[in-house]
Amino acid sequence: MQNDHNGFNLALPYLTAHLPGVGGRLRTEADHFVVEEIGLYEASGEGQHLYVNLTKTGLTTREVQLHLERLFGLARGAVGFAGLKDKFARTTQTFSLNVGHQPAAFIDEAVRRIEAALPVQVNWAQFHRNKLRPGHLLGNRFQITVTDLAVTTEEAVVRSRAIVDEIRRRGLPNFFGVQRFGHKGANVYQGLELLLGRRALKDRWLRRFLISSYQSYLCNCYLVRRLEIGAFERLLMGDVAKKVTTGGMFDVEDLEQEQLRYEAQEINFTAPIYGSRMWPAKAEAGALEQEILASSPVTLAHFEQAHIEGSRRVGRLLIPDLEVEAFDGKLIARFTLPKGAYATIVMRELMKVDEDQFSLVNEEENEDLE
């Protein structure tokens, strides 16, 4: 990917640049991009919200939401979901329907109504106490098929497994996918204009989304810089680290001790999602964060004026279950990612093709827009 016409460098390096990819194409059929949502919790069996887990193709998450609201005569917003899923894929996710307290027999009737009215398969349904909201998920499981490989099946096996071994050992930078930035970085540019006060926008959701695109761009710049200085394989003094098992965060003060935990994949460094109340890194890591922000026309004061608090994002994706197989000129990759991570970041390492192909995949980030 080249620099866009607004001067933003959107290009991302490959972690496995020394290993050739397999080429190919993504999503020639819906069944070639399979996504299964991993819920944050199980339905309890009681409550006024009916959780419905279904598999769909050819429908966006919002289209299903509207269909379910009309089908059950519910008010706008009475159907919730944890994350947006692509239309041109086979996706499995859960919706919550605020139907009030109903007898158990209502479940079977609801399933029959849904399958009769919508081209979906209902996998299960159960009552729960609260509405599903964006972010109420652990992550997603993927099965992605690459067609039209640039090499033989045998060579694809050799190449892809070498890349998989590297990713399992080192992890991947948790880049935001190119699709977040719009055509030639249009979303990034509009987000910058909003932050600088050069543009106003009444639509609060769209305003927040565009500003988050600029935040995401800066986060990618930070991750690229860490790769350039050799600080992806190692922690920096003052990093804000995150525990893999519990999610707890802390400042890195004992660099030698924490580096051992980093190499054991027990902790990760976090990258900045700049904002007025972001937990800042210190020492060397803090200097790097300040360097990236200083290269931008935006300051923390701009974020404060825009009421953008900021947060932190895990900087290293660990993908221990990543596996691949190849047959009949196709490559199939299977893996699990935490919410907010992009499957295309994994696939670009395996394929190493024109980045424009990944911009067509409508992967939505599943974290709150912070």
Q: At what angle do helices 204-228 and 283-294 cross, to 10 degrees?
A: 120
| pLDDT for 360 | 67
Among residues of the chain, what percentage have pLDDT more than 90?
Answer: 88
pLDDT range class, residue 291, cuts 50, 70, 90? very high
d(CA 215, CA 223) in angstroms, rounded, equals: 13
| Strand ranges of the sheet holding 267-273, from the earlier edge strand across to the other edge | 249-251, 240-243, 267-273, 311-314
Taking alpha carbons only, the member of 291, 285, 354 closest to residue 315 is 285
| pLDDT for 4 | 52
Site of tokens 């496995």: 16
| pLDDT for 356 | 80
The DSSP bridge pattern shows strands 137-147 and 311-314 to be: unpaired
Please report the domains of the chain, with CATH numbers, ordered by start residue. Answer: 41-134 (3.30.2350.20), 173-317 (3.30.2340.10)
| pLDDT for 368 | 42
| pLDDT for 364 | 57
* 2, pLDDT greater than 60: no
Per-residue pLDDT averaged across 283-301, rounded?
Answer: 97
Per-residue pLDDT averaged across 258-272, rounded?
Answer: 98
C-alpha distances (whole Å) from 64 to each of 17, 54, 194, 256 are 40, 10, 32, 51
Told to judge if 86 belongs to the known catalytic residues of this protein, a careful annotator would answer yes
* Averaged confidence pLDDT in the chain: 93
pLDDT in tens, 63-79: 999 999 999 999 999 99
**Amino acid identity, position 151:** V
pLDDT in tens, 102-130: 999 999 999 999 999 999 999 999 999 99
d(CA 343, CA 174) in angstroms, rounded, equals: 10
pLDDT in tens, 7-35: 788 999 999 999 999 999 998 788 999 99
pLDDT in tens, 83-93: 988 889 999 99
Per-residue pLDDT averaged across 236-244, rounded?
Answer: 98
User: 168 — phi, psi (to 5°)?
Assistant: -60, -35
Task: State the DSSP code for 104.
Answer: T
Site of tokens 């959701």: 205
**Sign of torsion over alpha carbons 270, 275, 279, 285:** positive
Residue 311 CA, chain-centre distance (Å), reads 15
Interacting residues of 260 by C-beta distance below 8 A, sequence separation 6+: none
> Per the residue annotation, which of 4, 31, 86, 354 is the catalytic one?
86
pLDDT range class, residue 139, cuts 50, 70, 90? very high
What predicted TM-score, i.e. pTM, was given to this entire model? 0.91
Among residues of the chain, what percentage have pLDDT more than 70?
Answer: 96
| pLDDT for 183 | 86
Per-residue pLDDT averaged across 297-318, rounded?
Answer: 97
